Structure 1
Amino acid sequence: MEVEEFLTAEQENEVIKAIREAEKNTSGEIRVHFENGPDHDALKRAQVIFHELGMDQTRFKNGILFYVAVDDHKFAVIGDQGIDEVVPDDFWESIKDEVISEFVKGDFTKGLVMGILHTGEKLKEFFPATDEDENELSDDISKNH
């Protein structure tokens, strides 16, 4: 499957809307990245993309990346150091399980939206929004072909 075919424009807009909703109450920064590429370890690749997108440069070290390897059917979610220090040990695994439970049903949009909104709720606890918050990273979905 090609990256452009993974979600329709309308579905991508639903995901972006979820990112904006999740970020409304937190200083956390959420991004989604789709790509095709050689078979690889999704978690390691997500770490590379995380740095390529400058997600490790946020003020509070609270960036989160939802990474989807479209053609390999692989998914990873990672957070920066600030988040890893405060969320429960099983947090990323629970988000990953939630997303994948919808992916296996073929509902990629629902999986991403649920995972993003759940992540936003948790981030609100540890990184509440303040008056000085600014959107440090784009909400748009990034893609490599």
Structure 2
Amino acid sequence: MIRFFQPEEEDRIIDAIQEAELSTSGEIRVHLEDNLKGDVLQAAQKTFLKLEMHKTEARNGVLIFIAPEQRKLAILGDKGINEKVPKDFWSEERDIMLAHFKSGNYADGVCAAVQQVGAKLKAFFPYQSDDENELPDDISYS
């Protein structure tokens, strides 16, 4: 298992997730893959299921999947999101991350993307007064 981020960077990313989720009922997860084998999108889809992100009530989970060693990433939204948004909905977040990554600012890139995901989810899945945090906010690794 890799530890790509320093502990203080992990804390910043978790804080960004928690802050983004204050304005949406959507759920955001960040996952780092140590040894990507095959297609990044297929690996992200498997991880999405493994993390049980498809089990949210509104099917509104978003996974930011990063394979640092292979320099690949994917952003996946669940069925509830995909039914409401255009196909290339997450390209802006991907581009934000890549711009930061090119200058070595990985945690900044993830935080910026998380904030943007939260803002976009708010339009389709606003925060509800009875909203529960259905998924952990920590970074998962494999």
Name the TM-score, length of structure 1 as normaliser.
0.93
Q: Provide the residue aligned with 2:2 in structure 1.
A: 3
Note the aligned Cα RMSD (angstroms): 1.2
Partners of 1:39 and 1:72 within 8 A in 2: no
Q: Provide the residue aligned with 1:92 in structure 2.
A: 90
Runs of 4+ in 1 over 6 A off after TM superposition: none
Q: Provide the residue aligned with 1:47 in structure 2.
A: 45
Secondary structure at 1:66 match in 2: strand
What amino acid maps onto 2:79 in structure 1?
Answer: Q
Q: Provide the residue aligned with 2:12 in structure 1.
A: 14
Secondary structure at 1:65 match in 2: strand
Within 1, Cα distance between the matches of 2:36 and 2:119? 34
Cα deviation digits, residues 52-75 of structure 1 (max 9, x gap)? 000000000000000011211111
Following TM superposition, by how much is the alpha carbon of 1:38 offset from its aligned partner in structure 2, in angstroms? 4.2
Following TM superposition, by how much is the alpha carbon of 1:40 offset from its aligned partner in structure 2, in angstroms? 2.2
Name the TM-score, length of structure 2 as normaliser.
0.95
Gaps of 5+ in 2: none
Q: Among the aligned pairs, what percent are the same residue?
A: 44
2:137 to 114, 126, 139: 139
2:101 to 100, 103, 106: 103
Q: Equivalent residues in 2 for 1:46-125 (5 A)? A: 46-125=44-123
Within 2, Cα distance between the matches of 1:16 and 1:68? 15
Partners of 2:36 and 2:67 within 8 A in 1: no
What amino acid maps onto 2:2 in structure 1?
Answer: V
Within 1, Cα distance between the matches of 2:75 and 2:8? 23
Cα deviation digits, residues 74-122 of structure 1 (max 9, x gap)? 1111000111112233321221111111111111111100100001001
Within 1, Cα distance between the matches of 2:37 and 2:76? 19
Secondary structure at 2:65 match in 1: strand
Secondary structure at 1:67 match in 2: strand
Gaps of 5+ in 1: none
Partners of 2:36 and 2:43 within 8 A in 1: no
Within 2, Cα distance between the matches of 1:141 and 1:38? 17
